[in-house]
Structure 1
Amino acid sequence: MKRIVAFITVVVVLTALMGWTTPGLLKSMRLGLDLKGGFEILYEASPLEAGAKVTKESLVKTAQSLEKRANKLGTSEPEVTTEGTNRIRVKLAGVTDEAEVRKMMKEPAELTFRSKDGTEKNPDEYNKIEMIGTDFAENGAALQFDNMNKPQVSIKVKSKDKFAEITKRLLGQPLAIYMNDELISAPVVQAVLTDGTASISVGGSMDEAKELRDVINLGALPLKLHEKYSQSLGATLGQQSLKSTIEAGLIGSVFILVFMVGMYRAPGLIASFALILHTWLLIAVFAWANFTLTLPGIAAIILGIGMAVDANIITNERIREELRSGKSVMSSVKAGGKHSLRTVLDSNITTIIVAVVMYIYGTGSVKGFALVLIVEIVLSIATNVYFVRFLLNLLLKAGKLMKPKYFGVKESEIRAL
């Protein structure tokens, strides 16, 4: 009796939880560029230093830096691609403030540390470039506090020798920080720095310290970017097409659930419940991790559901084979589950390995597809293998489903041992 109560409690509680939370989870789902639309910017790259050239390596590094910057802005799965010899195209999904995104994507591109050149023509202007964004270590700026508990920014550069030479030459003189030809700060060099690190005072302002830290960390772009054009993008599927896609998915899911119940009876009903739980958990993970749903993501979801159905079919067919051989229901479930587990795990683990390789070496939507597929498989193993067995064993140990007909096996199909 206790097992029956436990079975009913688990099913009722999970059903209520799914019904209560699903509308909110669906509303919080973020749609990708291909489903919701977004913002596109085309940049033309040029060298930061006069006489230099735009190389393929510097163009790729700049594109990678822009992708990292887009992720820091909260944009998931940005599409950043290089075109020709000096262009980079950026596509951002779900952009609400285009002006702010445009400003933050480009503004740190022209970060420079300058000194006065000492000429009679411009004696008070900081027009000699001493360091550029690429001279700083990645995420080399951090917020810290001095002895008076005032905020300041610590920086770290890549070349200690270069920094030591600059600070020795400019000892007692200001080293100005510029962003897009706008003076941000002009700290005075107080000592010769040989360890590649320094601290910049900002006059006690926490907001200025945070802004300067972010400017330096986001400013390590190898090239200068000039915006050629920008535009808002509509969803390639459109709202009507997206609605049709969802309807088709729901209709297909209903057919799958009906097939599972009609083919495998009680175990099929339990497997159908596990599939619904699997889908709900996936939606919850998307909402919790703030993933963006894109077309490749939908493809991964469909593939994952198909693999989950396969896992249930393999297990139930093995159980039916054991029943047809004349074994008892309890023995058949135990033997069928044992024999099918290795097959199911092997197929899922090999798929995870492929997905991990895709995630490591892929970019953009390929990474998104691989990540969703990995999450799908992990959830599938948890729900459609172990959770299904947990519910089925609760009923069997309670003395229920002890006849082969509950598994879709007729008496005439059972052979004598």
Structure 2
Amino acid sequence: MLNIPLWRRLLIAAVLLFGLLFAMPNLFYERVEAHNDAVTAIEVFGDSPERAAARDGWPGWLPSSLVNLGLDLRGGAHLLAEVHLSDVYGTRIDTMWTDVRDALREERATVGTIRRQDGPDDELRVRISQPEGMSTALQAVRGLAQPIVSLTGVGANDIEVRADGDVLIVTLSEAERIATDDRTMQQSLEIIRRRVDEAGTREPTIQRQGADRILIQVPGIGSAQELKDIIGTTAQLTFNHVVGRTSNPNEAPGARNVLYPALDEPDTYYIVNKSAVVTGEDLVDAQPAFDQNGLPVVTFRFNTSGARKFGDYTAENIGNPFAIVLDEEVVSAPVIRDAIRGGSGQISGQFTIESTTQLAILLRAGALPAELTFLEERTIGPELGADSIEAGRIATMVAFAAVLVFMGLSYGLFGLFANVALVLNVALIFAVLSTIGATLTLPGIAGIVLTIGMAVDANVLVFERIREELKTAKGPARAIELGYEKALSAIIDANITTLIAAVILFLMGSGPVRGFAVTLGVGILTSIFTAIFVTRLFVVIWMERRRPKTITV
């Protein structure tokens, strides 16, 4: 006989209540979105009457998770950027100068004096005064080589060392260049993701394309230029030793020095040592703040290594200025009054509150390791997204209505049970998508429409099986029980194969294909639940209340 234990009924009811409760915020999308934005803004910037009003527009005790709208539904910006991978080679080689110099100094008796020579950016050239000691110099520098930690560079070293007369030349090995390219791309992806996340955007798509390109799609942002402003700035912060100061922009800075303009001092230029004392890589935090005069500044804090280097430098250079350089401009050049051992400080200048906030975001995210060139940029207006949403809504409603009418005409009361289960199925889909933070795109809407059409397949199998069992003169209860039991294997088999296809689409696809796969996969799981458990629960409750002698399916 038909029987569903009380605990199972309560569990089914709890799942349905979850679905309705967590799908409900999507019916009040703008209000809930304003509530979520206000809560985030209050946590970051503090309370205000406007933010409090937006926060109170949705009860805090209700769920507030929403289905994120993709670029084609919400509008936003699309960029395709090329990473200049070769820029990193020169920086990588430049950082080796200190180690090479120290290694050669230990062999001074054999190699004589050493002097760095100018050359290509991706080469470190060092002249020795005693060419007969070149073999010793080569051996000393080759001892600095490190094995490459990558699958493509197993057994190879990171540098190649050769001699050209009395000049020793250090370059990156080919295997190290390949490994460096991969690290640069991974670092660029992570920094872009962090910068976009810091700006408060929702569900961006940031992925590598080919060897040196990155695709960036951010829904809800005003324009492609706004997105470029967020991710296109290098924000390279360094602390350099000041050699001198001049008003002549054409003055020769000298070997191993560079000439940078002062940000807030017109016609003023600083000659600084090219090798930075500390870089932005040693920063662990940066926040907008105000100084003792109430002016906007950016406070920063170094990690342990950076704090030690900065402390040692300031202790050795009391009374001398040092330059805070941001993107090849001297933001400030204070004089060192005492050793700064705390590992923290502040950057002051002609800042506004907005500029300090933006600068802090860029510094926290880190400096891009290489320059970006934007090959393609598009702005998708919100009106296009609204049209897409409207088209998807109409398609869903038409499919929904057609399925409801078909099931009602084909199976009568049992078709009505299937229709109610179908409504609950759609609610469960949106509840799951909201809970996992999935992004809904036009292909995702197509997946929901397809799910609506497929959702009643399981009910059709069950109802047709019940019809067959009724023809054998079995009672209504036994026919319904056998119908569900004998149709179960067919339901599972049919949906498992579709679920496998959805999983493969998700793993192998990207962007819109993944959006379709997610909604299709979630829809399959919720359809199985509503067909096997929810519709059956409706039928059992009806049978218990009416106890019909005969039924018509």
TM-score by length of 1: 0.67
Corresponding residue for residue 93 of structure 1 = 219
Supply the distance in 1 between the matched residues of 2:488 and 2:282 (Cα, whole angstroms): 52
- Residue 250 of structure 1 deviates from its aligned partner by 2.0
Supply the distance in 2 between the matched residues of 1:341 and 1:26 (Cα, whole angstroms): 41
Is 1:404 matched with 2:530? no
- Cα–Cα, structure 1 residues 260 and 224, in superposed 2: closer, same or farther, change >3 Å? same
Corresponding residue for residue 113 of structure 1 = 238
- Cα–Cα, structure 1 residues 272 and 175, in superposed 2: closer, same or farther, change >3 Å? farther
Q: Is the 8 A contact 1:126 1:176 kept in 2?
A: no
- Cα–Cα, structure 1 residues 239 and 352, in superposed 2: closer, same or farther, change >3 Å? same
Provide, for residues 229-277 of structure 1, a one-character-per-residue CA deviation record: whole Å limited to 9, x for no partner: 7442358977667644533332222221122122222222111111122
Supply the distance in 1 between the matched residues of 2:202 and 2:409 (Cα, whole angstroms): 41
- Cα–Cα, structure 1 residues 261 and 97, in superposed 2: closer, same or farther, change >3 Å? same
- Cα–Cα, structure 1 residues 201 and 36, in superposed 2: closer, same or farther, change >3 Å? closer
Supply the distance in 1 between the matched residues of 2:393 and 2:219 (Cα, whole angstroms): 20
Supply the distance in 2 between the matched residues of 1:67 and 1:40 (Cα, whole angstroms): 14
Please say which of residues 115-124 and 337-346 is displaced more in the overlay. Answer: 115-124
Supply the distance in 1 between the matched residues of 2:488 and 2:191 (Cα, whole angstroms): 44
Provide, for residues 282-301 of structure 1, a one-character-per-residue CA deviation record: whole Å limited to 9, x for no partner: 34555676654312212321
Q: Choose the corresponding residue for 2:417, options 270, 292, 303.
A: 270
- Residue 185 of structure 1 deviates from its aligned partner by 8.6
Identity, % of aligned positions? 28
Corresponding residue for residue 192 of structure 2 = 66
- Residue 219 of structure 1 deviates from its aligned partner by 1.8
Structure 1 unaligned segments of length 5 or more: list them.
1-5, 144-150, 193-197, 409-417
Is 1:24 matched with 2:28? yes
Q: Choose the corresponding residue for 1:41, options 71, 79, 86.
A: 79
User: Which protein is bigger by CA-based radius of gyration?
Assistant: 2
1:327 counterpart SS class: coil
- Cα–Cα, structure 1 residues 130 and 372, in superposed 2: closer, same or farther, change >3 Å? farther
TM-score by length of 2: 0.53
Supply the distance in 2 between the matched residues of 1:322 and 1:37 (Cα, whole angstroms): 53
Is 1:294 matched with 2:444? no
Supply the distance in 1 between the matched residues of 2:25 and 2:354 (Cα, whole angstroms): 38
Supply the distance in 2 between the matched residues of 1:209 and 1:235 (Cα, whole angstroms): 29
Please say which of residues 179-188 and 395-404 is displaced more in the overlay. Answer: 179-188
In the alignment of these two chains, the number of paired residues is 374
Q: Is the 8 A contact 1:77 1:364 kept in 2?
A: no
Q: Is the 8 A contact 2:286 2:363 kept in 1?
A: no
Supply the distance in 1 between the matched residues of 2:389 and 2:478 (Cα, whole angstroms): 47
Q: Is the 8 A contact 2:22 2:435 kept in 1?
A: no
Corresponding residue for residue 195 of structure 1 = none
Is 1:315 matched with 2:481? no
Corresponding residue for residue 313 of structure 2 = 170
- Cα–Cα, structure 1 residues 337 and 213, in superposed 2: closer, same or farther, change >3 Å? farther
Supply the distance in 1 between the matched residues of 2:332 and 2:479 (Cα, whole angstroms): 76
1:128 counterpart SS class: coil
Q: Choose the corresponding residue for 1:254, options 401, 404, 407.
A: 401
- Cα–Cα, structure 1 residues 199 and 268, in superposed 2: closer, same or farther, change >3 Å? farther
Supply the distance in 2 between the matched residues of 1:360 and 1:126 (Cα, whole angstroms): 50
Structure 2 unaligned segments of length 5 or more: list them.
1-8, 34-66, 92-120, 123-176, 246-252, 254-258, 260-269, 288-297
Is 1:232 matched with 2:379? yes
Which has the bigger relative contact order, CA under 8 A and spacing at least 6?
Answer: 1
Q: Choose the corresponding residue for 1:344, options 486, 491, 501.
A: 491
Supply the distance in 1 between the matched residues of 2:412 and 2:386 (Cα, whole angstroms): 38
2:456 counterpart SS class: helix
Is 1:383 matched with 2:530? yes
- Cα–Cα, structure 1 residues 351 and 228, in superposed 2: closer, same or farther, change >3 Å? closer
- Cα–Cα, structure 1 residues 153 and 303, in superposed 2: closer, same or farther, change >3 Å? farther
Amino acid at match of 1:344: I
Supply the distance in 2 between the matched residues of 1:347 and 1:185 (Cα, whole angstroms): 69
- Cα–Cα, structure 1 residues 186 and 329, in superposed 2: closer, same or farther, change >3 Å? farther
Q: Is the 8 A contact 1:59 1:86 kept in 2?
A: yes
Provide, for residues 70-101 of structure 1, a one-character-per-residue CA deviation record: whole Å limited to 9, x for no partner: 35544445444656765544333232366553
Supply the distance in 2 between the matched residues of 1:156 and 1:367 (Cα, whole angstroms): 39
- Cα–Cα, structure 1 residues 176 and 357, in superposed 2: closer, same or farther, change >3 Å? farther
Provide, for residues 4-52 of structure 1, a one-character-per-residue CA deviation record: whole Å limited to 9, x for no partner: xx9xx99xx99x9999977524986654323443223344433255535
Please say which of residues 17-26 and 45-54 is displaced more in the overlay. Answer: 17-26
Corresponding residue for residue 471 of structure 2 = 324
- RMSD (Å) for aligned C-alpha atoms: 5.0
Supply the distance in 2 between the matched residues of 1:369 and 1:77 (Cα, whole angstroms): 16
Higher helix proportion, which one? 1
Supply the distance in 2 between the matched residues of 1:289 and 1:67 (Cα, whole angstroms): 19
